[in-house]
């Protein structure tokens, strides 16, 4: 397997990550790294785009900074 995509979760309207099963997700990614060392693990993060309702406004600089911190957090915590 060349790539393994994992649905990490989604974000709230301000771009903050909504984790549900953080520890079990970390264990699964660790297992894939151990058993399939050549497989590239990729996090799929859903960011809703229906701005004005519950979507994320990526034109807002603060929201973009938060989304970037979320990306770093996912990479660090899930060891991608």
β-sheet bridge partners, residue 17: 11
The pLDDT score that the predictor gives to residue 50 is: 60
Q: How far is CA 80 from CA 19, 27, 31, 47, 53, in A?
A: 16, 12, 12, 19, 31
- pLDDT category of residue 67 using cuts at 50, 70 and 90: confident
d(CA 47, CA 30): 24
pLDDT tens digits, residue range 27-58? 888 899 999 999 988 877 776 666 555 667 77
What is the domain partition of the chain in residue ranges? 3-77
Residue with tokens 């060392």: 37
Secondary element (H or E) of residue 74? helix 61-77
pTM: predicted TM-score of the whole model, two decimal places: 0.54
């Amino acid at each position: 397997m060349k790539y393994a995509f994992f649905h990490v979760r989604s974000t709230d309207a301000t771009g903050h990550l909504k984790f549900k099963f953080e520890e079990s997700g970390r264990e699964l990614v660790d297992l894939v790294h151990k058993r399939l060392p050549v497989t590239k693990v990729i996090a799929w993060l859903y960011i809703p785009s229906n701005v004005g309702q519950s979507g994320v406004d990526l034109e807002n600089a603060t929201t973009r900074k938060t989304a970037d911190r979320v990306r770093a957090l996912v990479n660090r915590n899930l060891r991608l």
